[in-house]
Amino acid sequence: HDSPFEDDEDIIISFIVNGNKGDQGYTGFQGFTGFQGFTGYQGFQGVAGDFGGATFDYTFKSGTTMSNTDISMVILNNTTQKSSTNMYVYQNDDNGNSIDSFMQTVDSVSSVIKGFVRLSNKGDSGQFLLFQVTDISKNTDDYWTIDITNQAFSEDSPFQADEDVLVSFVTN
């Protein structure tokens, strides 16, 4: 055996005892507050909303009279559109949805002013006519006659034949 000691040799063994554990040190100072970050960019403006109320998709007809062949059409009774006193609206919109139930609700309003109707370009809400509604009646030829008085307009006659329009109603 390779040992640094010889048999029967006297050796001294020493042990080192560690001291008691010391107290916990002090807590350090709080660091400085960082700089505030940059303000983010402003978001894009949202798309303009519609007039509100019940809105239906129609096609504008440039004539001044309505017949039962004018399916999904809306017509005004004056070539100077803002001066119209009647609006004719077919009973089904461009999507084939019946508006009869809604129109009966408007007709049931007992106020002298039953509500308002806004006719606007489907792609440009800034092109519009706004009318007060005083009476509504269903014709035997599948369309409604609405008695109207102009309240506001973007121009005297903003709509062209076959223009895609929205007809929006708000009741009183």
Contact 143, 124 (CB under 8 A): no
pLDDT at 72 over 80: yes
Output the pLDDT for position 36. 85
Rounded mean pLDDT, 159-164: 95
Closest residue by Cα to residue 127 from 159, 87, 149, 84: 159
In this prediction, what percent of the chain has a pLDDT beyond 70? 95
Helices (H), the chain: 100-107
DSSP helix/strand/coil, 129: strand
What value does the mean pLDDT of the chain take? 89
Output the pLDDT for position 92. 94
Which own/partner contact pairs does 91-98 have at CB distance under 8 Å and 24+ positions apart?
A: 91/138, 91/142, 91/143, 91/144, 93/56, 93/57, 93/58, 93/167, 94/57, 94/58, 94/59, 94/164, 95/57, 96/72, 97/56
pLDDT at 159 over 60: yes
Out of 18-27, 35-44, 52-61, 86-95, give the one with best mean pLDDT.
86-95
In this structure, the number of other CB atoms found within 10 A of the CB of residue 104 comes to 12
Position 104: which residue type?
Q
**Residue 51 binned pLDDT confidence (cut-offs 50, 70, 90):** low
Rounded mean pLDDT, 148-169: 96
pTM attached to this predicted model: 0.70
Output the pLDDT for position 52. 66
**Residue 26 binned pLDDT confidence (cut-offs 50, 70, 90):** confident
* Phi and psi at residue 100, to the nearest 5°: -55, -50
Higher-confidence residue of 49 and 146: namely 146
In this structure, the number of other CB atoms found within 10 A of the CB of residue 100 comes to 13
Higher-confidence residue of 82 and 23: namely 82
Output the pLDDT for position 49. 62
